[in-house]
Structure formats: C-alpha cells, structure tokens
Amino acid sequence: MNISRLQDPANAPIGVFDSGIGGLSIVRELLKLLPDEALFYIGDQANCPYGNRPAEEIVAFSREISHYLIAQGAKIIVVACNTVSAVALSHLRSIFPETPFVGMVPAVKPAVQITRSGVVGVLATQTTISGRLYQEVVSQCAGGKRVISQPSPGLVDQVEAGDLDGPKTMALLEFYIKPLLAAGVDTLVLGCSHYPFLIPAIRHLAGDSLQLVDASEAIARQTTRVLDREGLRRQGGTAPETVYATTGDPGRVRFALGCLLGKPGRVRGLRWLDGTIEDGSREEEQAELCRHGHSAAGVRVP
C-alpha cells in the first residue's frame, strides 16, 4: 500500500466504523491487543440498522464514512460491520486503494472445525446472509457440515437501545435460537458485531453447552497483521486517546461506553448533510467537553 498521503503514518489513528455501537465489540479487542494505537471510531446511528437497507444505500454510507476517516488521517480502516463487509468491502478497497481495509465475515470456518454435532448455526442480518461473500465462505468452509443461517431482525435495535437482557430481547433470542437448538446446532456463530454484547443473555437461554463463536478477537489479530505487514505499528510513547463519534445521539454512545466497555470517553457529534458527513457544531463540542468536567475555554477541538 502507498500511504505517502500521511506525514507520520505509524502515529496515525486506526479508523473503525459500524452502523451503530456494535463495532465497540471490535474496539474492545483492539484496545486489548493494540494498547499503543490511537483509534477513531464512528457509529452511524442516524442510519442504524443497516441490515434492512438497500445495498446501494449501504455502499453510499460506508463510502462517505471511509472518506471522512481518511480525511481525519486514518492509516487503516476496520469495517466493524458484517453487513457493510458483505455489501461494500470490495467497493471500498477499489475506490480507496491507498488505504488498507480489514473487513468481517461470519466465522463459519472456526465453527465448522469445533462442532461436535456437525450442525452450525449463524445469527446474522438478512443482508449479510444474502451477500455473495457470506455464501462463498459457507460454500468453501462447510466441509460437509450443515450450516443453518438464521436472519435475526430486531436484535441490533435492542443492543442500540441498551436492552441486553430485557423481556423483548430474551423473546427475540428465544425465537431465533430455540429452532436452531432443536435442529441439532451445538455451535453458534455471532455474525454481527452487535451480538457479542448479547452473550450473557444467550448463555442464560441456551446454557454453557452451546459453543459461541465471536470473530472480534480474530479481527483484532488480522488488524495487527496488516499493520505489521505495512510497517504501520505505533511504537509506544504517550498513551493515545480513542476518539468516538456518532451521527446520532452522543449521549447514547457515552452510555454504551460505560455499559459495554466499562470506561468513559468523549464523543464527537457528526451529522449527515446532503450525503456527506460534517462535524457537529462548535456549541455541541463545547457542551460535550463541559459534560466531562473540562472547561471548554482554551481546549482545541480537532
């Protein structure tokens, strides 16, 4: 990759984006594996969920978000969304050839390797399941094992609402998972970055005998490999700040950071205007700083 566009590429941030807060499951693993790296995360909550949107909309959203992250100096972009990876990853790589992209695909291969019953279930959005990338992975990796693909509308909305184990969430999980268990599934692939936050609820419903396969850690490892391959690893120094941004309500993301990652963070407000992403108003940034107990005076907002 040619990254000459960056003056100091090793110290540039890793860009990460998702349709909402689900990609924080990837951020969690990146922070563990790459603590010296700066991250810039965008959740497109104004348009969440992506799973029921036309492909052309998903491509347009992801193209503009990637453009924004590159403009912010991202040295690599992690597409922390299975739906975007299924629909738009090849497009993003073609129009931004100087930027490495790491995408996601439901972890069918490792699931097939560990199943004892020979039946694997996959929870994912309909768009992911219908995508060519997912179909190719199943075709190449099933190895004679049965793979049952289960669309699961509504779960992303529950995670976005912060409802990880309420009655509606549990009812949806039971509706999707119980038929899989009845079909002999002993290994369940979490095919959406929102779903790792539902693991305790799934465990409560299905017990410990159901093996759960979450690709988050594998995505973090792949990001590390790409950084090393491209010579982009940051080497120590002052601990960098992770920047969080949303096209929706910053308050919801602040709440999610506390609940899902167990740590606070400053959240930048973004907005869509005529198909492009713009920074939120100066007043919004100042209010955000004040909510964190800092004086807005004299603070430089990037």
- Counting every residue written for the chain, the total comes to 302
* Catalytic entry in 48, 141, 192, 290: 192
Which two three-digit tokens encode residue 139? 């075709």
* Catalytic entry in 81, 141, 259, 290: 81
The Cα-based distances of 205 to 7, 39, 113, 124, 164 in angstroms read 51, 34, 24, 18, 13
CB 256 within 8 A of CB 52: no
Distance, CA of 275 to CA of 283 (rounded, Å): 23
Task: Report the candidate in 236, 167, 231 with the shortest Cα–Cα distance to residue 204.
Answer: 167
Distance of CA 37 to the CA centre of its chain: 17
- Residues sharing a CB contact under 8 Å with residue 130, sequence separation 6 or more, in sequence order: 86
Three-class DSSP category at 120: strand
Distance, CA of 201 to CA of 64 (rounded, Å): 34
How many C-beta neighbours within 10 Å does residue 300 have?
4
Three-class DSSP category at 192: coil
Any catalytic annotation for residue 192?
yes
Phi, psi of 31 (to 5 degrees): -65, -35
Any catalytic annotation for residue 81?
yes
Quote the crossing angle between the two packed helices 24-33 and 216-230, to the nearest 10°: 50
Q: Which residues are catalytic?
A: 81, 192
